[in-house]
Structure 1
Amino acid sequence: MSVHAAILSDSSERRVQVRTNSNNAYVNRAPIPIVNNSTGITIVRGDRFTSDSMQGLIQQKQREFDFDAKLSIEESKRVNVNKSPPAYNTIYNTTYDPVYSTGNNGYGSASSMDFNSWLNSNRYRAQQIASYQRYLSAQVGAQNVPPMEQLLTTARSWDKCGYEPYQLPPQELWSNIVPTLRLYTNLKSQGILPASAEIRSVYRSPGLNDCAGGASSSKHMTAGAIDIWVPEYENNQWRLNNMQDGLCQFWQYQGGTYDFGLGLYATGAIHLDTQGFRKWGFNNASSSSSCRS
């Protein structure tokens, strides 16, 4: 059988076109990567091929072809270009976790930006926070520095107010949190606060504090206050009351030494600061405090 074979090429595939003399029909065969130096295409004419010899030509030419693009040739199919996907070093983390959806504790948020995503979104931020952590470690001991993802939280309504969930306080305010962290550590070491207590709000800029409904003289704006809660006590009113009683007793007998400001809320949230010896409850009044004395 006399045939004519040619390599046809377009933007998507390469294939062999074979025409027989007997019926003038075109038959597609496996891709034969035959390249002519001048035109890029070599026409095979006048040869007589059996099925075996055609397959042999395909295999021979396939071996001769320079696989720059790692072409995979399969008979009667399109040529597949096996390209590996590009590898990037940067990982874009856009995870949002509903970690603050804790019922009515008062410090819940529908979603919280992943701390590591926030930390790495600014090239200088991690350096600044590392400096803050070193400063606090030098003041209260590294073992008494809470996790940064707790210590940098702002307010539950950060998203609604157009702010970020975490914020580093200005450096001139760093010293204000030191006595409050010492108090927090002491309350935990005495068992008044359980080890599972978590910090949910610390520094708030004046704009965020105003939007979030904070008091106009809130100590959060001076980075001297922390709001905490205990997740395991959320649905255990007896244990919550017990903890609040312990805080009230500590405030009564030792609060003056620490200049202890204690806010207790029905939601289970607790405010601690060391910028004024006082107590209050749900409406920021002393009379509404659950402390009986």
Structure 2
Amino acid sequence: MRLLALLLLLLAAPLAAQLVAPAAEPNPGSLLYRPPAPPPSVIDDPAAAYITAGQDETGYRAWFAAQPWHATYVKAFNDYLTTYGVADVVPTWELLRTATLWKVCGAQPFEVAPSSDWPHVVQTLRYVRDYVVPAIGPVEPVSAYRNPTLNRCAGGAIESAHQDFHAIDLVPLRPIARNQLMEALCAAHLRRGGDYQVGLGFYAFVRFHVDSTRFRKWGVSEAADASPCRVTIASAPKPPPIASANGIVVESTPTPQPTTPAVPAPTVITPVTARPVDPLAPL
């Protein structure tokens, strides 16, 4: 009997090993195994070189969660863009990026502009949607509203259109040579920029500026003759009407008023019912 039991034990050992051994191998289809992700490339995210640490998506989520009222202002701003049909031109959270030198200046990486300035960016986004994106493909904002204090520290012009949220600095999300970028944007600007009172400027590499304050152009320097758009600009026609923050339609872009020092929080907006909010939803 003992001999029979010993024989059965010897026969069972290899079978047990066959049943247990495969468990040591990772199963490519299981939730516990993931192949290493390939490193990101410039082609995957062409805007990465123009965005400082803290102004990326991770930085935005941290800023969003830092103050409970951030959710209220972001939602109100996104709702306004949705009302006037420009919420899908670029992700709303990217329009909250301030200046590239925000950290050097001790400022915030993101900021919601005062609601009185929201109509200005609507006009700029309409032009981006109608003529910039068709010319060069999708774009990403790398700097938009800058309060006057940050604008001065970051080296912005005294009358910078960023201060009243007319201006957006953008980079293309499809690979494109600098000369091709300028050629495409200049053609659109000379054809329809006057209708939208668009200012078009080019910076280093493929970063460029679009605003809706008045019809003009410039290159790396502020001089008009430094612009690659060589054709003389004619007198600008009347721009299309835009909607003010209170829903009243105005017939032309308001004359910029003297700015006041920045305040810690934007213009007071009626709070919405508190609820968990995904900082990137529904954008």
- Does the TM-score normalized on the shorter chain lie above 0.5? yes
Report the count of equivalent residues: 185
> Which of the numbers 203, 215, 229 marks the counterpart of 1:265?
203
Gaps of 5+ in 2: 1-44, 232-283
Q: How far has the Cα of 1:173 moved from its partner? A: 1.0
Partners in 2 of 1:241 and 1:178 — Cα distance?
Answer: 28
> Which of the numbers 186, 189, 210 marks the counterpart of 1:248?
186
Q: How far has the Cα of 1:171 moved from its partner? A: 1.2
Alignment identity in percent? 33
Q: 1:290 to 1:175 in 2, by over 3 A?
A: same
Structure 2 partner of 1:209: 151
User: Where do residues 76-155 of structure 1 align in structure 2 (5 Å cutoff)?
Assistant: 102-103=48-49, 107-112=50-55, 114-144=59-89, 146-155=90-99
Query: Structure 1 residues 282-291 or 272-281, which shifts more?
Result: 282-291
Bigger strand share: 1
Structure 1 partner of 2:42: none
Q: Structure 2 length as normaliser, TM-score?
A: 0.61
**AA at the equivalent of 1:162:** G
Partners in 1 of 2:195 and 2:83 — Cα distance?
Answer: 22
Partners in 1 of 2:68 and 2:81 — Cα distance?
Answer: 22
Partners in 2 of 1:194 and 1:101 — Cα distance?
Answer: 13
Structure 2 partner of 1:169: 113
**AA at the equivalent of 2:153:** C
String of CA shifts for 1:117-169, please: whole Å, max 9, x gaps.
1111111110111011101110124433x212211000110001000110000
Q: Give the secondary structure class of the aligned counterpart of 1:244.
A: helix
Partners in 2 of 1:231 and 1:247 — Cα distance?
Answer: 15
Q: How far has the Cα of 1:188 moved from its partner? A: 4.5
Partners in 1 of 2:182 and 2:46 — Cα distance?
Answer: 22
The reply on whether 1:192 has 2:135 as its aligned counterpart is yes
Please say which structure displays the higher CA radius of gyration. 1
String of CA shifts for 1:235-288, please: whole Å, max 9, x gaps.
x53xx3112101111111211111010001232111001111000011111111
Q: 1:142 to 1:210 in 2, by over 3 A?
A: closer
Larger relative contact order, structure 1 or 2 (CA cutoff 8 Å, min sep 6): 2
Partners in 1 of 2:167 and 2:137 — Cα distance?
Answer: 19
Gaps of 5+ in 1: 1-98
> Which of the numbers 122, 147, 168 marks the counterpart of 1:226?
168
